[in-house]
């Protein structure tokens, strides 16, 4: 069924799986009047081949198969019906195309939201052009709808992440700081197979392995566009744990890396030592209620903005409007697509124009910051199917886990 047994095959997806992704992208290209494209962002190369290599994938809607132009590594090869060329630099591509009689005059679309300005100029000049057509939105759209294989990868990631979360109480010791607790969670995740790497689209958002927030640090805003903030351990990476000692009855929010196979699930759970203050219990219950309500609504055709509004409505009815998605500073969304990268489509935000489709994988994270207490809330990742409710793939228990 797949070519995975041959680990030097450039296409680790196998023909049929690759074709599903390629045909979807080509259909979007045709719609956008784009005849050909050159892809070189690691996340997109992984999407189209199941591996990361240094080089380019050339797609022409008139050609059945993609052409591979590889800089590194040199030991790759491809199926008999495809073509792979080893190159030293992208300037060789146009010549190779013309030698193989696959010349065209039409603009070559590039990933203009992913590659830097200088590289975009260089790549388009390889074809005697200037950058014009942007392939990034098409890839985002294509990747937002996960194939059955991708859904399986995400389910597998969710199982492992849930297993690790279930074991967290054994890593807690009284008097620990948030950073010390996070380090033990990182180790447990890694031992379970977490790859550690946290792929994020764009160069703005930076994070190391995830976010553990306790006490007042939950109210420290961060420059990054994550749902929650935190001061961080250093001004060079101002997000997340900051060395706060985990105190009894202070909630601990754990939102740690779910990348076990190249696809990321996103899950948050609450932990606490000692008594659970009623406000914390309440906020966590409201968060669970929002997740369940949104899951019950999530099906093809539903507007992402409706889901956000529903979440805000429930939070407001519960008296938590001022605490919803932050207190000193508020995140502008309650959920986001995830997969190869953690910030995919659709985005559940008030002004989002995204509409849900079958195969979307969406992390829903209704979180609250309560001054003097901390950050509270859960996050689940869901697969959108033909019928509601959406399937939850982050299955750790949603209630607050005690750490004693």
In the complex, which residues of this chain contact a second copy (CB under 8 A)?
7, 12, 41-42, 46, 50-55, 71-75, 110, 112-120, 131, 134, 136, 179-180, 183-184, 186-187, 190-191, 193, 195-197, 199, 202-204, 206, 208-209, 221-225, 229, 233-238, 261-262, 328-329, 340
Pick between residue 259 and residue 287 the one whose CB is nearest to a second copy: 259
Question: Cα(22)–Cα(37) distance, rounded to whole angstroms?
Answer: 12
Measured from the CB of residue 386, what is the shortest distance to a second copy in angstroms?
29
The angle formed by the CA atoms of residues 55, 58 and 64, to the nearest 5 degrees, is: 135
Measured from the CB of residue 78, what is the shortest distance to a second copy in angstroms?
15
Measured from the CB of residue 233, what is the shortest distance to a second copy in angstroms?
6
* Residue 323 DSSP one-character state: G
Helices 42-49, 136-144: axis angle to 10 degrees equals 50
Measured from the CB of residue 225, what is the shortest distance to a second copy in angstroms?
8
Q: Length of the chain in residues, anyone?
A: 404
Do 37 and 124 meet the contact criterion of CB atoms below 8 Å apart? Answer: no
Pick between residue 257 and residue 293 the one whose CB is nearest to a second copy: 257
Measured from the CB of residue 186, what is the shortest distance to a second copy in angstroms?
7
Measured from the CB of residue 20, what is the shortest distance to a second copy in angstroms?
18
Contacts of the segment 54-58: beta carbons below 8 A, 24+ positions apart: 55/87, 56/90, 56/93, 58/93, 58/97
Burial 195-233 (b: 16+ CB within 10 A, else e): eeebbbbeeebbbbbbbbbbbbbbbbbbebebbbbbbbb
CA-closest candidate to residue 261, choices 314, 200, 195? 195
Pick between residue 95 and residue 130 the one whose CB is nearest to a second copy: 130
Pick between residue 66 and residue 229 the one whose CB is nearest to a second copy: 229
Do 1 and 25 meet the contact criterion of CB atoms below 8 Å apart? Answer: no
Pick between residue 46 and residue 271 the one whose CB is nearest to a second copy: 46
Q: Tokens for 12?
A: 């680790």
The angle formed by the CA atoms of residues 181, 280 and 198, to the nearest 5 degrees, is: 40
Pick between residue 118 and residue 387 the one whose CB is nearest to a second copy: 118
Question: Cα(59)–Cα(245) distance, rounded to whole angstroms?
Answer: 53
Q: Tokens for 185?
A: 């969670």
Question: Cα(342)–Cα(312) distance, rounded to whole angstroms?
Answer: 23
Pick between residue 83 and residue 183 the one whose CB is nearest to a second copy: 183
Do 287 and 381 meet the contact criterion of CB atoms below 8 Å apart? Answer: no
Measured from the CB of residue 94, what is the shortest distance to a second copy in angstroms?
19
Pick between residue 195 and residue 297 the one whose CB is nearest to a second copy: 195
Pick between residue 29 and residue 233 the one whose CB is nearest to a second copy: 233
CA-closest candidate to residue 358, choices 175, 89, 144, 173? 144
Measured from the CB of residue 370, what is the shortest distance to a second copy in angstroms?
19
Measured from the CB of residue 152, what is the shortest distance to a second copy in angstroms?
15
Do 134 and 141 meet the contact criterion of CB atoms below 8 Å apart? Answer: no
Measured from the CB of residue 72, what is the shortest distance to a second copy in angstroms?
5
Burial class (CB in 10 A: 0-12, 13-18, 19+), 292: middle
Pick between residue 212 and residue 280 the one whose CB is nearest to a second copy: 212
């Amino acid at each position: 069924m797949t070519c995975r047994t041959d680990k030097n095959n450039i296409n680790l997806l196998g023909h049929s799986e690759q074709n599903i992704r390629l045909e979807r992208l080509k259909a979007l290209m045709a719609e956008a009047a784009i005849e050909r494209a050159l892809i070189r962002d690691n996340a997109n190369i992984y999407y189209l081949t199941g591996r990361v290599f240094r080089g380019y994938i050339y797609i022409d809607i008139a050609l059945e198969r993609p052409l591979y132009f590889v800089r590194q590594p040199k030991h790759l090869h491809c199926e008999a019906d495809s073509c792979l060329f080893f190159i030293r630099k992208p300037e060789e591509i146009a010549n190779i195309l013309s030698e193989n009689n696959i010349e065209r005059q039409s603009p070559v679309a590039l990933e203009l939201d992913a590659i830097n300005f200088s590289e975009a100029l260089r790549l388009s000049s390889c074809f005697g052009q200037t950058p014009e057509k942007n392939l990034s939105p098409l890839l985002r759209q294509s990747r937002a709808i996960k194939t059955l294989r991708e859904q399986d990868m995400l389910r597998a990631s969710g199982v492992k992440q849930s297993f690790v979360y279930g074991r967290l109480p054994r890593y807690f010791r009284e008097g620990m700081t948030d950073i010390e607790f996070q380090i033990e969670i990182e180790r447990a995740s890694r031992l379970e197979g977490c790859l550690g790497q946290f792929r994020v689209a764009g160069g703005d958002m930076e994070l190391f392995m995830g976010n553990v927030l306790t006490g007042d640090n939950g109210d420290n805003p961060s420059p990054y566009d994550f749902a929650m903030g935190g001061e961080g351990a250093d001004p060079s990476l101002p997000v997340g744990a900051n060395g706060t000692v985990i105190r009894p009855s202070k909630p601990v929010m754990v939102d740690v890396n779910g990348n076990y196979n190249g696809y990321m699930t996103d899950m948050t759970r609450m932990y606490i030592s000692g008594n659970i203050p009623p406000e914390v219990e309440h906020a966590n219950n409201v968060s669970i209620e929002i997740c369940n309500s949104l899951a019950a609504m999530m099906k093809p055709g539903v507007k992402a903005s409706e889901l956000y509004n529903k979440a805000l409505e429930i939070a407001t009815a519960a008296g938590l409007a001022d605490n919803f998605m932050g207190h000193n500073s508020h995140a502008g969304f309650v959920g986001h697509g995830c997969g190869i990268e953690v910030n995919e489509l659709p985005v559940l935000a008030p002004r989002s124009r995204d509409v849900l489709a079958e195969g979307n994988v969406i992390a829903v994270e209704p979180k609250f910051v309560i001054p003097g207490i901390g950050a509270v809330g859960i996050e689940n990742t869901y697969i959108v199917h033909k019928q509601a409710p959406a399937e939850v793939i982050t299955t750790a228990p949603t209630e607050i886990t005690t750490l004693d």
